[in-house]
């Protein structure tokens, strides 16, 4: 078969095939376009419309409470029983403590030691509750600076019969201050100075 005849036959066969393929492609493209348009339409249909949210910015005030027409009645003053003895609140008896310098250890001459500070002792609470009274003589040394050194009770049985007063008397004597004795322009110590503390309850014997 000559070549020209084969070319003619091939062209005749190829034309319908080409036309058919072109038609098929056109149909497919048209179908895809319709599907995309349908999808786009469906997506557009799903759009949620805008919702307007209302915000109330106004402050809601509580209702005003009306003032009562009548004021509350006045409270009656409380009454106290004035017959109660107020002295019962203080059960501790009143006390009086005297501080005396023993004359035998004191001289009134120029340059002699003189008391500057005298402190009364604290009345022992146990002695108050028991109603005990008494005295206590404390002996000590007045130093060259006027302070007290080595306070003691020389004869406890005679100088301080009630032992309950001994500690308070010694503590009080330690706080005494003196103008020291001066001899030839020089301060010296004075040994054996005695002080008597008297413990008495007011209204006692």
Instruction: Select the CATH number that applies to the domain covering 91-201 from these four: 3.40.50.720, 3.30.70.1150, 3.30.2420.10, 3.40.50.300.
Output: 3.30.2420.10
Per-residue pLDDT of the chain (205 residues; tens, 9 = 90+): 666 777 778 777 777 788 888 788 887 877 765 665 555 555 445 555 555 555 454 554 556 555 555 555 555 544 434 333 333 233 445 666 666 655 344 444 447 889 999 999 999 999 999 999 999 999 999 999 999 999 999 999 999 999 999 999 999 999 999 999 999 999 999 999 999 999 999 865 5
Q: Which of 157, 154, 161 is nearest to 195 (CA)?
A: 154
User: Residues 98, 194: contact at Cβ < 8 Å?
Assistant: no
H-only helix segments in 84-181: 125-130, 156-159, 166-173
Report yes or no on whether pTM surpasses 0.85: no
């Amino acid at each position: 078969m000559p070549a020209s005849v084969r070319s003619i036959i091939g062209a005749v066969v190829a034309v319908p095939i080409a036309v058919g393929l072109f038609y098929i492609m056109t149909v497919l493209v048209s179908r895809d376009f319709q599907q995309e348009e349908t999808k786009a339409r469906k997506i557009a249909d799903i759009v949620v419309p805008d919702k307007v949210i209302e915000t109330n910015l106004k402050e809601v005030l509580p209702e005003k409470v009306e003032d009562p027409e009548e004021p509350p009645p006045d409270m009656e003053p409380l009454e106290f029983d004035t017959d109660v003895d107020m002295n019962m609140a203080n059960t501790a008896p009143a006390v009086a403590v005297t501080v005396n310098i023993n004359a035998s250890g004191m001289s009134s001459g120029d340059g002699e030691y003189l008391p500057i500070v005298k402190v009364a002792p604290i009345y022992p609470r146990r002695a108050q509750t028991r109603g005990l009274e008494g005295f206590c003589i404390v002996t000590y040394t007045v130093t060259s600076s006027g302070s007290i050194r080595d306070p003691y009770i020389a004869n406890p049985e005679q100088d301080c019969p009630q032992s309950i007063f001994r500690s308070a008397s010694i503590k009080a004597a330690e706080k005494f201050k003196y103008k020291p004795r001066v001899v030839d322009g020089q301060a010296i110590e004075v040994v054996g100075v005695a002080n008597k503390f008297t413990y008495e309850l007011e209204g006692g014997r």
